[in-house]
Chain A
Amino acid sequence: MPVQVTGEIVSNTKAGDYHVLTMTGKGIPEDAKPGQFVALSVGGELGSTLLRRAFSIYKAQSRGAYGGTIDIVVSPHGPGTDWLANQQRGDRVNLIGPLGKPFALPRDPVPCVLVGGGYGSAPLFMLADALAARGCRVDVILGASNGSKLFGVVDARRIASTLSITTDDGSVGTKGRVTDLLPRVIQRAQSAVVYACGPMAMLRAVSEVSTANGAHSQTAVEESMACGIGVCMTCVLPVIGDDGQTRMVRSCVDGPSFHGNRVRWDAVGTVPEGTIGAPIAGGH
């Protein structure tokens, strides 16, 4: 069950274009599972930015010099993330977590590929540890627009059987996209599952390439949220349920990880025809 707690920033370190924030948050690190996230309030108690910002949990340590801590990765690109990136050791933050469904783990020790776009790779390293603990081979592909937007290369080297890197500008690794390399990685390792986190367009492509190469995919979406706990109804996307019906589901509580072939990628940002309760002509 998620908790709402006041935590303290333990460290704030730059990693390329990103900030890695380590913070305490009693009850959260102890419970956090790979793929879950925290929702942080930003701007302080009297601030004018009321909506919570969601961040994948990058690391969770239940013991340490500061007690339990979690790490998140912040990409400053707006008033809320700019504020967070400026928080220093000793500053207080209010956080709710752990939230969302964890990544589903394979029952058998099958080979897995982890694909991260930009700082979307953040939740993949806890996942890699969990998969390794089950005896799964782990291959990693990291991609970004350029080298300073790659995240987790050192972590990936530590855990992965192979690491492939792509950048749009070719400044690091192979010039191109993660999905250019994905078929070869799947075929070489005979991978059964592909886990991915990053921009929507990347997730769609990963899902399609995985299916075409006979692998399941688990995709963690990044929809903007106001609350993170399931009450605001803003983070919805069209997903096909076990009954074959499409529903607008909340990525915060029903996700953020979905089976890639259950998400109606072509229809994200719309309410596709046939969705349960979809507007009819002249209706809402």
Chain B
Amino acid sequence: MMRAVPAASSVDMTTTLAGLELPSPVLTASGCAAAGREIDQFVDITTIGGVVTKSVMREARSGRATPRMAETPSGMLNGIGLQGPGIDSFIEKDLAWLERRGARTIVSIAGGTFDEYQYVAARLAGAEGVAAIEVNISCPNVAERGLVFACDPMASARAVSIVRNVTPAHIPVLAKLSPDVTDITAIARAVVDAGASGVSLINTLLGMVIDTTTLKPRLSGRTGGLSGPAIRPVAVRAVYQVRAMFPDLPILGMGGIRTGLDALEFLAAGANAVSVGTVVFNDPMSLVRIHDELADALAERGYSSLREVVSAAHL
């Protein structure tokens, strides 16, 4: 059954993210909603804030061998290995479908080299239907023996700068940051100086699960990304810290959001909009449910607009 976000709510649930006007603050999260088509069976994807697509790279990728995931307390560990069709097929099939459908599409891009980021972003620069780009910099840098771009301020800045330079000025570029750093505000500073229009906070945390029968790592890739409600306080902290340093920076917050009150925490910490990721696996309709619960929570607290609570924790 398809549910639409109710238009008749007393609370103004619109928000602005890096210049994008969104009818709802609730978006999908990269890697948790493919390219929108499957989720559209359960929620009308044109009524949610937007679809953040699974990170796309230059070439088609098979991803890793199975097992690719392990359930963890209030979360999961995943190591998919960025399985995807490659940028050409993505533009031709997935992006074209999203545009026809009328979704607001934030395309997540990834690369193993700076050249790959540039190539993928340049291909998207000529494509229709891109509302914004999210740069997934939590990828191993092939030239630096696998050091993740997002863990190095210089590499993060360079990847973002390259994408910014080939992306039309009216299309916002969000940098998705990793929490696996000593000081996330230092990385935020680097990407903002490199031209990021805003930041997405946070990517998964690096983790490991050991199979207690085989005594070997459960995932074929050994390590994986931890997500879900288990990481929510880490994400709220990251949003709060970055907001404290950048009062006006557009922030898309994510990390274990399951309910409207979870979303409210992110808004109060400083997020302008939120992505729901792992919880969509559990509840595809959560994208609408969380919107409704948030609207109720705001109404109960006497707010007439969502914008009134953004960064409320800092006042």
A-side residues, CB < 8 A to B, are: 1-5, 27, 41, 48-52, 80, 94, 96, 223-224, 226-227, 229-237, 247-248, 253, 268-271, 275-279, 282-284
Contact = CB atoms under 8 A, between A and B. Distances in A.
A2 B2 CA distance: 10
11 contacts: A50-B282, A51-B71, A51-B281, A229-B38, A231-B32, A231-B280, A268-B66, A276-B62, A277-B86, A284-B81, A284-B112
A153 to B, nearest CB: 31
Contact of A50 (B83, B142, B281): B281
Given A51-B71, A284-B61, A231 B39 contact: yes
Interface residues of B, number: 46
A130 B82 CA distance: 40
A233 B83 contact: yes
Given A41-B283, A233-B68, A253-B38, A277 B1 contact: no
Given A226-B76, A284-B64, 14 more contacts: A1-B41, A4-B1, A4-B283, A50-B229, A50-B282, A80-B71, A223-B66, A224-B69, A226-B69, A232-B32, A234-B69, A248-B83, A271-B62, A279-B81
B278 interface: yes
Per DSSP, chain A at the interface is: loop
B62 A232 contact: no
Per DSSP, chain B at the interface is: loop
A50 B66 contact: no
Contacts of B74: 48, 50
B231 interface: no
Nearest to B228: A50
A236 B66 contact: yes
A235 B66 CA distance: 8
Contacts of B41: 1-2, 229
Interface of B: 1, 32-34, 38-39, 41-42, 54, 59-69, 71, 73-76, 78, 80-84, 86, 112, 140, 142, 220, 228-229, 278-285
Contacts of B34: 230-231, 233
Given A232-B281, A233-B80, A248 B62 contact: yes
B65 A270 contact: yes
Of all A-B residue pairs in the complex, the 3 with the closest CB atoms, nearest first, are A277-B60, A227-B281, A277-B62
A269 B285 contact: no
Nearest to B84: A277
Given A51-B76, A234-B78, A277-B61, A4 B83 contact: no
Nearest to A282: B142
Contacts of A275: 62
Of the listed residues B34, B38, B83, B282, the one surrounded by the most CB atoms of chain A closer than 10 A to its CB is B282
Contacts of A223: 66
Contact of B75 (A50, A230, A235, A278): A50
